[in-house]
Amino acid sequence: MTLRLLLAFCTLGFTVTAEAQCRFDPLDQGRVVKISGAQLPAASGMSLSSLSVMRVEKGRLIPVAYQFDEMDQKGMVWFADSGFELAGSPGQLDGQDQLLMMLTDAGPRAPADLKPEQGELVARLTVAEDCHFYLVQGNPERSDNYYVAHDIDSGETRTALYQLDVDPDNELNWRYLGYRGYLGEGSIIDTLKMRMSAGVLSRFTRMTLDNHNLRPKRVGFSVGPIRSVMHLRTKVVLAGIPVMTIQVQAMRYAAHYEAHTYAKIPDLYRATLKEPEVSVTVDGNNQSGAAVYTANFVDSPVIVDGKPDDQAFADQALTMDANWILFDSQRDFALLTHLTVPDELMETPLALIYQDDASLTVEPEQFPGQLPNLGYSLHGWPQPEELRFTVSLYFEEGLKGFAADQFATRRSAEVPVQVRDR
């Protein structure tokens, strides 16, 4: 464990008690502020290395952890070996670039006459209840805090809140998930599961791929103070037919995990493959007694008991507008999942996957049974040639007094930001 990570452990817990005029919501711990370069016109074209982010503390501007990520033409973080072109100019702030900070690193409003000791103020960023960041050019001070420690060789991730261990040779195979203060034993989850199936020429000749043969190849990797990003490429072959290449960016944050997926589906394969289905689920490990909510079951969650008797819940339809799934272990850990798609895919058929069966085996498995296995299934080809979606997994200690729908909406919402030049 590095000094920088130790410092981040401290700040994550205590910056929420910043000066009185800056207040945070109980769900703001771990939330990330994302700003596009287009929202920062005053800094357009500036060198990324010359820019930094600061806040007010004890009457002066001090540096906070931040991260600039340059984006590609497909809206993903750019890597030279990804095969996608960089959007904009390298090393300069362009409209598609992203700036990231931890929300609870913001501080109080700066007095009108307060200036950085070096450099110049470029923009003022307001978040939460009267909380502020300051974008500065030409100041050499940098924060030493890192909120994510991700060892690519071992597959281990450590933050102040959770530990995630995955197979370093296959990102899909999650081996262990632990959370600070969790009252259960062992890993919270069995593993992450991804499945693709389709009929080849006919719906009766169905082929299925899962974690065992969907083996992503890493083509890019970066670790910053706010998130780590892995770019993974998987060539999908069904019955000898190279159907598509799936590009996934796996992102680890201080309190959540995101998987951004992109695939281009040629018309030829739309005709060849019948009734395709893509599913992504998280299999719980011995989570009997947990409560599971959806937008259709806000006041009447199902309780995990290892018996497949919750068909009304399992068979419910989901919409893209309200597709969240909330899992409360009742042991000081909650998992919120949320699926995001672009506007042109909002009508794509979506189904809930919910399996609560102690005797059911769905490979891959570390531990027997589905207790529970829950997630999403996308049916059919979308109308656009390009398939895009993001699965987000938010980790919390519990619902913190919120109703399930309030918790889901507030925890997954983007952080609003007001930007003022200088």
Q: Per residue in 35-93, pLDDT tens?
A: 999 999 999 999 999 999 999 999 999 999 999 999 999 999 999 999 999 999 999 99
Last residue of a domain, one of 114, 130, 147: 147
Number of Cβ within 10 Å of residue 381's Cβ equals 18
Q: Is residue 86 part of a domain?
A: yes
Would you say residue 13 has pLDDT above 50?
A: no
Q: Name the pTM for this structure.
A: 0.93
Q: Is residue 417 part of a domain?
A: no
Same domain, 257 and 333: yes
The closest of 24, 97, 33 to 254, measured between CA atoms, is: 33
Same domain, 169 and 243: yes
In which band, very low, low, confident or very high, does the pLDDT at 203 lie, cut at 50, 70 and 90? low
Please give the span between the terminal C-alpha atoms of the chain, in angstroms, as a whole number: 38
CA distance to 227, 289, 393, per residue, from 215 (Å)? 23, 34, 21
CA distance to 48, 142, 195, 389, per residue, from 139 (Å)? 12, 8, 49, 38
Same domain, 79 and 141: yes
pLDDT tens digits, 344-382:
889 888 999 999 999 999 989 999 999 999 999 988 767
CA distance 53 to 100: 10
Same domain, 118 and 257: no
Under 8 Å between Cβ of 190 and 365: yes
Same domain, 246 and 392: yes
Token pair listed for 327: 């899992």
The alpha-helical segments, DSSP class H, found in 62-159 are none
Q: Is residue 422 part of a domain?
A: no
Q: Is residue 418 part of a domain?
A: no
Under 8 Å between Cβ of 366 and 274: no
* Mean pLDDT confidence for 192-204: 78
Same domain, 102 and 240: no
User: Could you tell me the CATH number of the domain that includes residue 219?
Assistant: 2.70.98.10
Same domain, 139 and 179: no
> How many residues would you count in the chain?
422
Residue 118 sits in which domain range? 3-147
* Number of domains composing the chain: 2
Would you say residue 268 has pLDDT above 80?
A: no
Last residue of a domain, one of 147, 174, 208: 147
Mark 102-124 as b/e (b = at least 16 C-beta within 10 Å): bbbbbbbebeeeeebeebebbbb
Q: Is residue 419 part of a domain?
A: no
Same domain, 350 and 316: yes
Would you say residue 15 has pLDDT above 50?
A: no
* Mean pLDDT confidence for 245-260: 96
**pLDDT on residue 205:** 67
Q: Is residue 55 part of a domain?
A: yes
Q: Which residue has the tokens 């000081």?
A: 332
The closest of 252, 69, 231 to 151, measured between CA atoms, is: 252
Q: Is residue 277 part of a domain?
A: yes
Same domain, 188 and 46: no
Same domain, 134 and 210: no
In which band, very low, low, confident or very high, does the pLDDT at 271 lie, cut at 50, 70 and 90? confident
Last residue of a domain, one of 147, 162, 185: 147
Q: What's the chain's average pLDDT?
A: 91
Q: Is residue 408 part of a domain?
A: yes
CA distance 417 to 401: 26
Same domain, 316 and 371: yes
Same domain, 328 and 408: yes
Token pair listed for 115: 């200036």
pLDDT tens digits, 100-149:
999 999 999 999 999 999 999 999 999 999 999 999 999 999 999 999 99
* Mean pLDDT confidence for 313-321: 94
The closest of 228, 232, 239, 9 to 100, measured between CA atoms, is: 228
Number of Cβ within 10 Å of residue 403's Cβ equals 12
